[in-house]
Structure formats: structure tokens, C-alpha cells
Amino acid sequence: MNLKKIGKVLGIGIIVIIIASLATVGFVFYDLMSYTATSSQTLNPSVTEVGKALVVYDPGVSGAAKNVAGTIASDLQSKGYKVELAGIRSAVAKNTSKYGVIVVGGPIYAGSASASVNNYLKALKPVQGTKIGVFSTGQDPDIAKNTTLLLKEAAPLPKNSTLQIKAAVKIVSVENDKQKIKDFVDTLLQ
């Protein structure tokens, strides 16, 4: 009987170790994806330029955040902005001084923005008057309905942060949420 109990405890211990190992590998993998985001692209407006915008993204595992960032950048471009669409680890993403609009976003993992997005927002020192927007991607559409929860999830800034977020949005599907993206950009530019 003692052998059965020992076997049961050992079995449970092994299962816990395996689950913990897989979770650790998963979180490391998610953060590593941000290191692939080193490229940037300039989108010039087809109308008279009204300003400069920077859209920074952590692509995440699925690449959904890059797609959302591209859609946001295209909408800003159509409104007359010269847009730099930049991966979060790109050289372009580091210099934020020349932009009147900055948008930052990426995937949500375990209820929080990726480490790279958190770190980027904490280090962001925009010029006074810059309009800041954040976006997140993920599968919990209920968060999108509550602005306080959305900001806590997409931009968990420290209490002493002076960064002012003007607009926030959570996108579950680019195809289904195109109007939400347009509304986000409109709110950001007001």
C-alpha cells in the first residue's frame, strides 16, 4: 500500500514538473518572437501630408498583431500621415521624437501584454502633445468592452507613469474588427 501512495505522489510530481517546463518554454518562446520584429516600412500618404505616425508591433506567435498594425498604419496613411510601420526591435522603433502619433501593440499572453510591449511602453518618452494609442490581439473579446480592463491588459503601466494613452482597442480578428480599427484611429486622432 505504501508503494501505491509513493507511486501516486511521484506520478503527480512528474506531471507538475512537465507542465511547469512546458509553460516556461512557452513564455520564453513568446518573448523570443519579438526578436524577429526588426524590420520597418514607410507608408507615404497619397494626399497632402498632415503629420508623422509611428506604429510599433510585437508580431507574436500567430502574426496577428503585425496584421493589425498594418491595418492601423494603412488607415493613418489614408488620413494623410506618413507612417513608419516598425517591428518592436527595429532601429526605427527606438527613435520616437519626430512623431505626432505613436501606436504600440502586440499579443496578450496570460492576461497581459507581451514583455516586449510592456518594456517598450515603460521606456517610451514621447514629445509633449504626442497622441499615444495601444492595441492588443487575443481571444477574449469581453475585455474589449471594458476600457479599464483593456488598458490594464494592453498597457499595464506603473502607477507613477506619466504616459497618457488616448485610445485603446483589442482586436480578435482583423477581418471582423475592421470598423473597430477605424474607430480606434478616429479616436486617437481627435
What cell numbers appear for 111 in the block? 492576461
Beta carbons of 172 and 141 less than 8 angstroms apart:
yes
Beta carbons of 53 and 83 less than 8 angstroms apart:
yes
Q: β-pairing, 112-113 with 131-137? A: unpaired
Rounded Cα distance between 67 and 142, Å, is: 21
Rounded Cα distance between 112 and 110, Å, is: 6
Q: How many CA atoms lie within 13 A of 122 on its CB side?
A: 12
Q: Where are the beta strands (DSSP E) in 9-146?
A: 40-43, 51-57, 81-87, 101-109, 112-113, 131-137
What percent of the chain has pLDDT above 70? 89
Average pLDDT, the chain: 86
Task: Supply φ then ψ for residue 122, to 5 degrees.
Answer: -65, -35
Q: pLDDT band at residue 136, thresholds of 50, 70 and 90? A: very high
| pLDDT at residue number 36 | 66
- Helix/strand/coil for 182: helix
Beta carbons of 125 and 154 less than 8 angstroms apart:
no
Judge if pTM exceeds 0.75: yes
Could you tell me which CATH number the domain at 35-189 has? Answer: 3.40.50.360
Q: pLDDT band at residue 24, thresholds of 50, 70 and 90? A: low
Q: So where are the chain's domains?
A: 35-189
Worst-scoring range by mean pLDDT, 49-53, 99-103, 141-145, 150-154?
Answer: 141-145
Residue 31 confidence (pLDDT) above 70: no
**Total number of residues shown for the chain:** 190
Q: Which residues contact 31 (CB under 8 A, 6 or more apart)?
A: 114, 115, 116
pLDDT tens-place string over residues 87-114: 999 999 999 999 999 999 999 887 888 8
Q: pLDDT band at residue 28, thresholds of 50, 70 and 90? A: very low
| pLDDT at residue number 190 | 93
Question: Roughly how many angstroms between the first and final C-alpha of the chain, as a whole number?
Answer: 72
- Eight-state DSSP code of residue 47: S
pLDDT tens-place string over residues 36-81: 667 789 999 988 999 999 999 998 878 889 999 999 999 999 999 9
Beta carbons of 150 and 114 less than 8 angstroms apart:
no
Q: pLDDT band at residue 18, thresholds of 50, 70 and 90? A: confident
